[in-house]
Chain A
Amino acid sequence: MSVPKLEQLSQSVVQGPSLAAGAIPTRDWMDIPVKFTPGSYAYVAKKDKVEYLNSQSGLSFPNAREWSPEDDDWKLPEGWKEIILKGLQERLGKFRSLKIFMDCCVRCGACADKCHFFLGTGDPKNMPVLRAELLRSVYRNDFTLGGKILGRMVGAREMTVSVLKEWFMYSYQCTECRRCSIFCPYGIDTAEITMMLRELLHLVGIGINWILEPVSNSNRTGNHMGLQPHTFKDNVEFLVEDVESLTGVKPDISFNRKGAEILFITPSADVFAEPGLYTAMGYLLLFEAIGLDYTWSTYASEGGNFGLFTNNEAMKKLNAKMYAEAERLGVKYIIGGECGHMWRVVHQYMETMNGPADFLEKPVSPITGTVFENAASSKMVHISEFTADLIKHGKLKFDKSRNSHIKATFHDSCNPARAMGLIDEPRYILDHVVDWVEMPENTIREQTFCCGSGTGLNTDEIMELRMRAGLPRANAVKYVHEKHGVNMLSCVCAIDRATLTSLNDYWTPEVGVCGVTELVANAIVQEDETRGELEEGLRTMVF
């Protein structure tokens, strides 16, 4: 009796073919179409945003319209297939990496189980190798002799609407975190395949609002939030007041000041939303403590570059703004705040897109005299490199007990860790300012797990998807929380500060999120301070 009962139970557990239902999948992955239901996709870009972007010089975002992924008809432009194939051909010629990545995969499967989307969903199309096959199959069909002759036998398939829909589904279930790429014996950067998929989709007007609106805002006012110069200035000034009321020290700040030695650029979220605000207060305190000659800019008021998540033209344009502003102000170099993908763009793409930034100087710390040789080309120094160097030279005084309310761990943000190798500097800083522990080895440093919501996927309509994708990271946080009593997850990325907050609120509500510079500023001791007991550091409410 029990065996049939168990099978009956299985029928209610799973729908469709699966081992539990006693069936073996009978269809090839190519024959399983995607289905869009609420929560499975991010809202598409608003028509007016696409129109605006398409009207801007250097940018192309055609086919603005009202549409929904749930509709059968996606209102694609006439000749959409030719547009896609021509776009692919152009890119194969333009980007050597794409051509190599299309050809050299041997489907060894080393990447398959390294993706947080796969680990959280179990969906085979989230294996990086298969996500790449979505594009590679079309490449084979139209650009290789074998594919043209043998077709499906060699994994080739024709470009159809169904394929296009699949591209949309899975290129937006990849956060371009590049964890898979470190396991690939051929060094295939699957993130770049996702980038190409998204570029191709934009050619026919397929994109999401959570990305295109920040791009449009950045193009218009210089930052994701669409804050105009006076608002941006007001926000930073509020933070100055907060710092003063907490510590008795009033940071000296300036905006758009020509002749300043350094231009400071950070994600706008740091001056706008919690918990990034505390990190921004940290920057103010830190720079005040060392008397840095620097300026904020109300034009280059955004470190983040959502252009990276659309196409190379938008990425180039938004990146250029930072350097144009540095040149206009006549600064020597740029210090960049705790941001994720800004560093990827600066380290991996800036030089060929907008470089070389010859009008700037090789960065030298005015406090320690250290020459940042690693930034000789980009002319941009990461705040953690800069701070670690200050500590190394004994230029900062700390009282670690000011962080005694915190037991921290450190999340390596994907882009600083994997795209620029910023791994030991934040750890060196943490050693000096707070009691902290590492998460398990296979979840940190180069192997770090993504927050699950990067590349513009940090929107609330796909919250379940984000929680699934963030599970591998959250799982490690939960472990150190239970084992070591960790109550704070520190990181060096603004998107992380926002998304890990939501992730922890679901998986481990007892653990907060902060920037490394917030912890630095909590512990910093300054000469003229009149700071009382701040039980929660910069987060203490003072009345």
Chain B
Amino acid sequence: MDIAEGFRFHGDKIVNRWVEYTLSTYTSSGFFLKERDKFANPVGGNFREGLQKLFLLLSKDADPQEFTAPLEQIISIRAVQEFTPGQAVAPLNAVKHIVREAFAADKERQHLVGELYDFEFSVDLAVIAAFDIYMQCRERLYQVRIAEIKSGNHILTDSKCPSSMLDGDNKKNIKTVNGI
């Protein structure tokens, strides 16, 4: 039995465990795991979809460029939640251990544990790519903040209420300003 068959055979179980592990980093992991409608449960839905796609790519030694879309689907969410950068990307690494566990527990496929070098190397590349994506997300967020400030809404909070000009010496100012 070759490793491709091993991935196919254990694929669903591995992805499920990976999704479960990733979602267990949330306090309310129960709901995130249970609800399968992607629109009623965007965190759970996107993670399941993203990790499924990513696992297929990792297990067939795909071009790391292809990791971007599924990684973005996951990391863009974790980049705005209350995680440190390390915590945001760490669950990706878990798949290495999950795969080893799955193969080790299967008598017929135990020997595949020794053939995981390429797979694990792909995971490493995915984790590195995830850091890049994490940073891109954070930078995009800063750009959003700057764009919002530039849009003029900051005047809401940064302008002085005209009433503050009504006291003391400032009365002169308001007369000048309004040309009264």
Contact B104 A2 (CB under 8 A): yes
Q: A119-B42, A475-B39 are in contact. Are A505 and B140 (CB under 8 A)?
A: yes
Interface string of B64-89 (1 = CB under 8 A from A): 00000000000011001110001100
The one of A52, A113, A213, A505 in contact with B157, judged by C-beta atoms closer than 8 angstroms, is: A213
The interface stretch among A193-201, A215-223, A389-397 is: A215-223
Quick check: B152 and A9 within 8 Å, CB to CB?
no
Q: Can you list, as one digit per residue, whether each of B13-25 has a CB less than 8 Å from chain A (1) or not (0)? A: 0000000010011
Asked if A214 and B156 sit within 8 Å, CB to CB, the answer is yes
Instruction: For chain A, residues 240 to 275, give those with C-beta under 8 angstroms from any C-beta of chain B.
Output: 269, 272-274
Contact with B along A7-25 (1 / 0, CB 8 A): 0010011100011100001
Rounded to whole angstroms, the CA-CA distance of A458 and B125 in the bound complex is 37
Count of B interface residues, CB-CB < 8 Å: 56
**A498 interface contact, C-beta 8 A:** yes
Contacts of A505 in B (CB 8 A): 140, 143-144, 147
Given contacts A19-B24, A505-B147, whether A113 and B104 have CB atoms under 8 Å apart is no
Chain A positions within 8 Å of B101 at CB level: 2-3, 6
Q: Point out the residues of chain B lying under 8 angstroms from A5, CB to CB.
A: 97
Question: Interface digits, B28-44 against A, CB 8 Å rule (1 contact, 0 not)?
Answer: 11011001011111110
CB-contacts of B77-118 with A (<8 A): 77, 80-82, 86-87, 90-91, 93-94, 97-98, 100-101, 104
Say yes or no: A498 contacts B151, CB within 8 Å: yes
Given known contacts A113-B41, A475-B46, A121 and B81 CB-to-CB distance under 8 angstroms: yes
Known contacts A217-B161, A226-B159, A472-B39; is-contact A6 B141 (Cβ 8 Å): no
The answer to whether B162 and A475 touch across the interface, beta carbons within 8 angstroms, is no
B162 contact set on A, CB distance < 8 A: 220-221, 226, 228
Contact (Cβ within 8 A) A49 B94: no
Q: Is the CB of A119 within 8 A of B24?
A: no
Q: Is the interface of B mostly helix, strand, loop or mixed?
A: helix
A273 CB → nearest B CB, Å: 5
- Is A123 a contact of B144 with CB atoms below 8 Å? no
**Complex Cα distance A25/B152, Å?**
45
B161 and A9 contact, CB distance less than 8 A: no
- Complex alpha-carbon distance, A43 and B156, angstroms: 13
- CB 8 Å contact bits of A201-225 with B (1 = contact, 0 = none): 0000000011001101100110011
**A369 on the B face (CB < 8 A):** no
Q: Is the CB of B157 within 8 A of A459?
A: yes
* B-binding segment of A403-411, A415-423, A462-470: A462-470
Collect the chain B residues with CB atoms within 8 Å of residue A43's CB: 157
When C-beta atoms are compared, the residue in chain B nearest to A458 turns out to be B153
Among candidates A2, A48, A224, A501, residue contacting B156 with C-beta atoms closer than 8 Å: A224
Interface contact A442-B37, CB-CB below 8 Å: yes
Complex CA–CA separation, A210 to B158 (angstroms): 10
Tell me if B26 and A464 are in contact (CB < 8 A): no
Q: Do A2 and B157 touch (CB < 8 A)? A: no
Shortest Cβ distance from A524 into chain B, in angstroms? Answer: 26
B21, B43, B93, B140: the one contacting A471 at CB < 8 Å is: B43
Q: In the bound complex, do residue B38 and residue A464 qualify as a contact, i.e. CB atoms below 8 Å apart?
A: no
Let me know if B61 is at the binding interface, CB within 8 A: no
Q: B171 to chain A: closest CB distance in Å?
A: 16
A259–B160 alpha-carbon span in the complex (Å): 35
- Measured CA separation A226–B156 after assembly (Å): 8
Measured CB to CB, the closest approach of chain A to B122, in angstroms, equals: 18
Contact A122 B26 (CB under 8 A): yes
- A120-B161 contact given A12-B86, A113-B35, A475-B38, CB 8 Å threshold: no
Distance in Å from the Cβ of B16 to the closest Cβ of chain A? 15
With A3-B101, A220-B161, A468-B81 known, 8 other A-B pairs at CB within 8 A are A9-B94, A119-B41, A121-B82, A440-B39, A442-B40, A443-B39, A505-B140, A506-B141
| 22 examples of A-B residue contacts, CB within 8 angstroms | A2-B97, A6-B21, A6-B97, A9-B94, A14-B25, A14-B87, A18-B27, A18-B29, A113-B41, A121-B81, A122-B32, A123-B28, A216-B161, A221-B162, A440-B39, A442-B37, A475-B42, A501-B147, A501-B148, A505-B144, A505-B147, A506-B140
3 smallest beta-carbon distances between A and B, as pairs: A122-B26, A20-B24, A475-B42
